[in-house]
Amino acid sequence: MFLLVNNVLTQTEIGQIQQLGQGLKFVDGRSTNVHNEAKRNLQLDMTQPNAVKLCQIAAAAVGRNEQIRNFAFPKRIAQPLLSLYEPGMTYGEHADAPYLQLPGGPLRSDVSGTLFLEDPTSYKGGELVIRLGSEKVKVKGEPGAMIIYPSTTIHEVAPVTEGRRLAFFTFIESQIPDEAERELLYLVYEVHALEGFNIKPENRTRLQYIASRLHRMWSR
């Protein structure tokens, strides 16, 4: 199960990111994974002063978003990193690595996310392609939108043929590591939020009790 969340970044924040990003340098995306032959893109050089500020804006936006919290049950969120795809660049089919080595210790990647920055009509190709069984779903979000999905999902970034694709990517370690349990708990909470006041108060309490017990049971 995946979720597309609109307006994770405000228009003001998008403008701030664009301003801070002017003139910043990008490096080979494989610098963080030299053995990944499927990865042909660029990543922001984080040694530049404005690079950290730029990524912190995205991190704050992801961290405060209620829909993302309700879907992913974040325990830790990796600082978003900015990637750039120009014509001919792509990221072939892959599943994300199970752990990321961060300064604060390893982060288990349970949920992956792409935070879009560019107008989808400004570039051709570059869709995030998520495999669901024998089918493939193509996602190309509006500026400020974020797609989140299980890190075990096989996915790719289609080749960019025109323009540029600029987007953040990040990883979330969830309180609920198991994908099926996380999806069920999300649905229980969603039903409680949407239908709770349409059922008898005692049944609403029971539903809340079930959600709370499952949350405690499955949390790690």
Following DSSP, what letter does each residue of 8-47 receive, concatenated? SS-HHHHHHHHHHHTT--EEEGGGG-TT-TTEE-EEE-TT
Q: H-type helices in the chain, by residue range?
A: 11-21, 49-64, 66-72, 179-195, 201-218
pLDDT at 166: 97
Half-sphere exposure of 64 (CA within 13 A, CB side): 10
Tokens 């961060």 identify what position? 102
User: Are 122 and 163 spatial neighbours (Cβ–Cβ below 8 Å)?
Assistant: yes
Report the Cα 19 to chain-centroid distance in Å. Answer: 23
Which H or E run includes 161? strand 160-162
pLDDT at 38: 87
User: Are 19 and 53 spatial neighbours (Cβ–Cβ below 8 Å)?
Assistant: no
Q: What are phi and psi of 96, to 5 degrees?
A: -70, 150
User: Are 113 and 78 spatial neighbours (Cβ–Cβ below 8 Å)?
Assistant: no
pLDDT at 193: 92
Encode pLDDT of 139-189 as tens digits: 999 999 999 999 999 999 999 999 999 999 999 999 999 999 999 999 999
Encode pLDDT of 204-214 as tens digits: 999 999 999 99
Q: What are phi and psi of 207, to 5 degrees?
A: -65, -45
Q: What is each CA distance from 180 to 9, 77, 93, 176, 185, in whole angstroms?
A: 28, 20, 23, 9, 9
What is the pTM for the complete model shown?
Answer: 0.94
pLDDT at 30: 79
pLDDT at 34: 64
Residues of the chain below pLDDT 50: none
